[in-house]
């Protein structure tokens, strides 16, 4: 099986931890330039929702190629032309999520080939609607946001909030630990996209979180 992947070193490492490349011809690509001129069975674009305009680079790929595109910050129907819709599987490829045994995935007009996904290494597949944040990222980013409000109000410090959430809810990570894994930039952009999409006050971003996002993007 000829597989290509585009993403950060952390994302590629997580992808590698899921499936064995022993029986695959694997190519790590820096970008999508000229990607339609090379034959791949599967392409993982793990940062697609950061640059959805790159979908134009996939026009002309062979019809049998399966595209796994990160789709947490976008809705697929807004980014994928009809000619490619049957080939696209949207996934949650955020750092810390891709290496889980469960893959969160969505499609536009076709069933998900669960046998293929399991053969790649994922133990189970959760099919979700193509919505910004999907399910788990939406929930965790909201929890992170609430944790920032608690920190901003001076109710508790970061370590105590993390410890309280892990002991009280049996979460594997506390909100700030999750934030470090996902990245403050991703957390902010997901919350911002959800707020624009829903106009729901629940997604109002804590000013302290926004401040840390602005510091991160200025570095």
Tell me if 132 sits within 8 A of 197, measured CB to CB: yes
What pLDDT is attached to residue 120?
Answer: 85
Label residue 182 by pLDDT band (50, 70, 90). Answer: very high
Looking at the chain, the whole-number percentage of residues with pLDDT higher than 70 is: 97
| Residue 105, strand partner residues | 91, 127
What homologous superfamily does CATH list for 2-127? NAD(P)-binding Rossmann-like Domain (3.40.50.720)
Report whether pLDDT(23) > 70. no
Least confident interval from 25-39, 64-78, 137-151: 25-39
Label residue 20 by pLDDT band (50, 70, 90). Answer: low
The reply to whether CATH 1.10.1040.50 applies to domain 136-218 is: yes
Tokens standing for 73? Answer: 């910050």
Q: Give residue limits of the domains in the chain.
A: 2-127, 136-218
Helix boundaries (H) for the chain: 9-18, 76-79, 82-85, 114-120, 136-152, 158-169, 175-182, 184-198, 207-218
| Residue 3, strand partner residues | 26, 42
What pLDDT is attached to residue 38?
Answer: 81
Measured in degrees and rounded to the nearest 5, phi and psi for residue 199 equal: 55, 35
Tokens standing for 115? Answer: 């046998």
């Amino acid at each position: 099986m000829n597989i290509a992947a585009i993403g950060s070193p952390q994302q590629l490492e997580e992808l590698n931890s899921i499936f064995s490349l022993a029986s695959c011809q694997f190519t790590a690509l820096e970008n999508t330039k000229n990607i339609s001129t090379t034959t791949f069975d599967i392409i993982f674009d793990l940062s697609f929702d950061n640059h959805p305009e790159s979908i134009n680079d996939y026009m002309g790929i062979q019809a049998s190629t399966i595209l796994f595109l990160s789709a947490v910050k976008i809705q697929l129907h807004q980014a994928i032309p009809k000619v490619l819709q049957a080939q696209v599987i949207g996934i949650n490829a955020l750092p810390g999520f891709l290496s889980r045994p469960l893959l969160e995935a969505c499609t536009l007009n076709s069933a998900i080939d669960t046998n293929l996904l399991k053969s790649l290494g994922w133990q189970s597949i959760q099919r979700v609607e193509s919505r910004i944040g999907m399910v788990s990222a939406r929930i965790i980013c909201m929890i992170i946001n609430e944790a920032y409000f608690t920190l901003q109000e001076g109710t508790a410090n970061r370590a105590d909030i993390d410890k309280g959430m892990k002991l009280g809810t049996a979460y594997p990570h506390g909100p700030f630990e999750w934030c470090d894994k996902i990245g403050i930039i991703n957390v902010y952009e997901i919350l911002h996209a959800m707020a624009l999409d829903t106009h729901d006050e629940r997604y109002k971003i804590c000013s302290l979180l926004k401040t840390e996002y602005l510091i991160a993007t200025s570095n």
